[in-house]
Structure 1
């Protein structure tokens, strides 16, 4: 079964109210629980595409997790190999390396501990207290990228 079958599209409230509000605040320098605006070049157009994301830090390393699955920004990230994280006027260029499924459970658990109230519905009942087996089961459905900042 293709992982793209598991994509959860954001609802109207998320698309029209929540994401624009978080992006608005983040663009003005106010991070909401680690929020950033991700800018990544489109794999077909080459134009910058933006979306609000939650930047996860675990053991001093930074990660981007795709709660809704294999969506446009994840496809673009694979093609571009990196992008920019925006917070107000601060711009951080970065490279991105996709994390293998077997390394994701710890990262998914940490992500859900921090943002379950916001994104828990996209994880099919799996939460921060779920078993390692459950986290391994959903790992292929949620791309995770290790972010390495290359410029400020």
Structure 2
């Protein structure tokens, strides 16, 4: 089983509608304190530019910890998160700072299962037919394609 560092790059790039309409609408609502099913805006420092980057995310509470799962794979925010080691989750005027640790692949299957149970209606298409009832082996096979970060709040 490959580790994150030697896993093949897997990215599901969002289309024009998602980038220019849906993500912006969700971020706009979240900045005003309106969560779409619990979504938040992730703010993380860009690894090359040092500029703060914002993207809507679906946090997951699982086994007593909060997690961010990259449904679309190894996207820009995941690379920035690895470099920065943390960021902010915004909702309305509130922002919670956190540090983040990437979850090893062998620990991801049950987190992915919980994520698909909670958010599958929105992100299931990015998991190639997997769902909350998929076998542990199937979820383990998908683990390298979907980075997961465990959050520890610092505020």
**Structure 1 runs, 4 residues or longer, greater than 4 Å off:** none
- Partner deviation per Cα, 1:109-138 (whole Å, 9 max, x = no partner): 011111112111111111111111100000
SS of equivalent to 2:154: strand
* Contact 2:68/2:149, CA 8 A, preserved across alignment: yes
What are the within-5 Å matches in structure 2 for residues 73-152 of structure 1? Answer: 73-151=77-155
* Contact 1:34/1:56, CA 8 A, preserved across alignment: no
Write the distance in 2 (CA, Å) between the matches of 1:67 and 1:98.
Answer: 14
Write the distance in 1 (CA, Å) between the matches of 2:47 and 2:103.
Answer: 20
Write the distance in 2 (CA, Å) between the matches of 1:3 and 1:122.
Answer: 16
Residues matched between the structures, number: 150
Displacement of 1:64 in angstroms is 0.3
Partner of 1:42: 46
Q: What value does the CA root-mean-square deviation take over the aligned residues?
A: 1.1
Structure 1 portions without partners, runs of 5+ = none
SS of equivalent to 1:40: strand
Structure 2 portions without partners, runs of 5+ = 1-5
Write the distance in 2 (CA, Å) between the matches of 1:140 and 1:73.
Answer: 16
TM-score (norm 1): 0.95
Write the distance in 2 (CA, Å) between the matches of 1:2 and 1:141.
Answer: 8
TM-score (norm 2): 0.93
